């Protein structure tokens, strides 16, 4: 298992907001973060083109930057939500 700190970018018209999260995966972190972004504001959005931008009506999201960290750091960071593809959001305490 690999551990990451990443960003999901949300665009509201001309404005952009980055949400920092933590996630873990054994697969490609770019693909995993992109899938998380596709469900960030609700049900997964299907894209008709090859874009990595997911449209939720008044806002759009995409996976942003990420950085791999070791398990000890990952577990020590308690202020960031952990997102999983099963849409469960867990706040470590």
- pLDDT value, residue 88: 43
Q: What angle do CA 49, 51, 53 make, to 5 degrees?
A: 125
Question: Under a CB-based contact definition with an 8 Å cutoff, are residues 64 and 9 in contact?
Answer: yes
Distance in angstroms (rounded) separating the CA atoms of residues 66 and 8: 9
Give the Cα separation of 2 and 49 in Å (integer).
30
Residue 45 has what pLDDT?
61
Q: pLDDT tens digit string along 7-64?
A: 999 999 889 999 999 999 999 999 999 999 988 887 756 555 556 788 888 888 999 9
pLDDT at 4: 98
Q: Whole-model pTM?
A: 0.78
Residue 90 has pLDDT above 60, yes or no: no
């Amino acid at each position: 298992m690999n551990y990451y700190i990443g960003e999901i970018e949300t665009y509201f018209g001309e404005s952009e907001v980055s949400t920092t999260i933590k996630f873990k995966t054994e697969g490609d972190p770019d693909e995993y973060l992109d899938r998380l972004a596709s469900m960030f504001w609700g049900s997964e959005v299907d894209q008709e083109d090859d874009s990595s931008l997911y449209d939720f009506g008044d806002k759009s999201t995409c996976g942003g930057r990420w950085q791999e960290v070791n398990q000890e750091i990952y577990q020590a960071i308690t202020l960031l939500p952990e997102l999983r593809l099963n849409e469960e959001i867990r706040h470590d305490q």
